[in-house]
C-alpha cells in the first residue's frame, strides 16, 4: 500500500485523516504487517489496505490511501 505520493505506508506512521483527526497505522494488510495486538488471523480477511487507530474514532480500515489519510510523520524506528 502506498500514499498518494508513492511512498510506502509503514507500521507506526502517524497520519492525518481527512476528517481532521490523526491516527497511527497499526496494520498494512497488503504487506501482511501487523502491530502487536492486531493479529493477522483477525484482519487478513480484509485482503487489502491498512488499519489506522485514531483516539477520536477508534480503529478504521482504509482500503487505499486515497480514501482519506496522508502521512504526517514516519514511525520513530523507521526514520533514517
* pLDDT by 10s per residue, the chain, length 80: 888 888 899 999 999 997 789 999 999 999 999 999 999 999 999 999 999 999 999 999 999 867 678 999 998 755 44
- Whether the pTM exceeds 0.85: the reply is yes
Query: Of 67, 64, 58, nearest to 24 (Cα)?
Result: 58
CA dihedral 79, 25, 42, 61 (to 10 degrees): -150
Dist. CA 14–CA 74, nearest whole Å = 6
Cα torsion 18, 24, 26, 29: sign: positive
Dist. CA 3–CA 65, nearest whole Å = 5
Q: Cell for 18?
A: 481527512
Amino acid at each position: 500500500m502506498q500514499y498518494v505520493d508513492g511512498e510506502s505506508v509503514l507500521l507506526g506512521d502517524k497520519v492525518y485523516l481527512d476528517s481532521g483527526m490523526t491516527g497511527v497505522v497499526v496494520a498494512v494488510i497488503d504487506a501482511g504487517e501487523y502491530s502487536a495486538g492486531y493479529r493477522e488471523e483477525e484482519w487478513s480477511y480484509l485482503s487489502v489496505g491498512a488499519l489506522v487507530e485514531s483516539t477520536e474514532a477508534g480503529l478504521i480500515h482504509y482500503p487505499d490511501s486515497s480514501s482519506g489519510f496522508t502521512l504526517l510523520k514516519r514511525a520513530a524506528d523507521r526514520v533514517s
